[in-house]
Every structure is written in structure tokens, then in C-alpha cells.
Amino acid sequence: MSGAKKVRMQPRKRVVLIAHDRRKADLLAWVEYNRPVLAEHDLFATGTTGGLIAARTGLDVTRFRSGPLGGDQQVGAQIAEGALDILIFFWDPLEPQPHDPDVKALLRLAVLYNIPTACNRATADFIVATPLFHGPYDRIVEDHAAAREALVAARG
């Protein structure tokens, strides 16, 4: 675990919810089904999705901009800063997105910072059903800057 650190996730998770247009109905149904569990956590979402979730479920949702208007980049920045714990992103693999580079960057950051990420309903179900969702969890985050510096030094 050299070059890595443990980042404590508190029992009350900071969950970000995102869905592309053709996947919004699926995400809304999932949120409604899991409302009692999600109500125990802090919810965030990109603009339109967050508005739909709040209106349909009455849950408090902190909203970023709409994805194509910079929301995906705002979420990515919050992941990099350690301000979000879990990404639930129902993306549409069959529809090209005008902000596709932002989507790829967001997913890359979620992997880079080792946060649990669900891109479909089945994985989202597994995330909220695990006991780890309800308690503290130490996720391991590599120090990629240190690893890169060591690689450069080794190449001399």
C-alpha cells in the first residue's frame, strides 16, 4: 500500500445522482424504491436530475449545474476534493452525448479516487444493500502524483 492513503467515509454518505435523459425515468424509479435508505444520506445531483428527484420524492438534493452546462465537471471536481463518496450515474451507452468528454473525465476521476460507482440499476442496488453503505468505510486512494514522480525519477 506504498503511496496510498486511507480516506474515511462516514456512515452518512455523500451520494451524487446523475442520469442521462433516456435513463432519468429508471433513476427516478430507483430513487423512489430506495427512498428510505437514501433519506439517511446527503444527496447531490446534476441540475435537471436533481430537480426531478426533489419534486418526485421530496428528498433534499443539492444541485450542480446540468451535465452539459458544466455539472459533470463540477461533480468531478468535488470527487477530486474528497467532497463526494458515491457516484450513481445512469448513463446512456446507446446515445452519443454532446458532453461525452466530460462524462469520460467524470468516470475516470471516480476510478482514480476509488469511489464506489454504479452505472446501472443492478450495481446501484448492490451499493445501497451492502452493510458498508451504512457504516464508516476506509477507502484506499493512491497518491498518483507521488507515483508519477517516482517513475520520472527512476527513468532519470
pLDDT tens-digit series, residues 15-45:
999 999 999 999 999 999 999 999 999 999 9
pLDDT at 17: 98
Secondary-structure breakdown of the chain: helix, strand, coil percentages, each rounded to the nearest 5: 50, 20, 30
Q: Across the chain, where does the E strand assignment appear?
A: 4-9, 14-19, 42-45, 61-63, 86-90, 117-118, 137-142
With contact defined as beta carbons under 8 Å apart, do 148 and 28 qualify?
no
Q: How far apart are CA 84 and CA 13, in angstroms?
A: 8
Which pLDDT belongs to residue 147?
Answer: 66
Pairwise CA distance, residues 121 & 106, whole Å: 19
pLDDT value at residue 73:
92
Would you please indicate which residues are annotated as catalytic (active-site) residues?
72
Torsion of CA 143, 146, 147, 148, to 10 degrees: 120
Q: Which segments of the chain have a pLDDT < 70?
A: 1-2, 98, 146-148, 151
pTM of the model: 0.90
* Angle at which helices 47-57 and 24-33 cross, to 10°: 40
Regarding beta strands 137-142 and 4-9, do their DSSP bridges make them parallel or antiparallel, or are they unpaired?
antiparallel
The CATH architecture that domain 10-155 belongs to is: 3-Layer(aba) Sandwich (3.40)
Domain ranges of the chain: 10-155
